[in-house]
Amino acid sequence: MDKSKYRQSKKWKEFRHRVLLLHNHTCYICSIKKKKGMHIHHIDPSKYGSETLEDVVPLCSTCHKHIEWLLKRTKNKVDINVYTEKIKEIYLKSKDNI
């Protein structure tokens, strides 16, 4: 599948809009809320093009960059929920130290 072509399609744009509305434009990992610059991360890349709401999560650009880096490093063997809990734990500890 040509991912860049798919991302320009009406189907993807409408789906992306639904995901962002459903999650109130909030990053799944760090909970930052942004109207612009949010990414949609595919939990299972094999579902690209036939994804459902359960197959994706909205991420800010920073968290998306980190999860993609981690996925490459671990050969796609990372559970986004486990990763999210670790990030939230680190975030809360750093917030307590401010």
H-helix or E-strand containing 89? helix 80-96
Q: 40 is in which domain, residue-wise?
A: 3-96
What are the residue ranges of helices labelled H in 1-98?
Answer: 3-7, 10-22, 61-73, 80-96
- 38: closest CA among 23, 54, 53? 23
Question: Per-10-residue mean pLDDT for the chain, 98 residues long?
Answer: 87 96 92 92 86 91 85 71 68 56
Can you give the pTM of this predicted structure?
0.76
CATH number, domain containing residue 54: 3.40.1800
What's the confidence (pLDDT) of residue 23?
A: 94
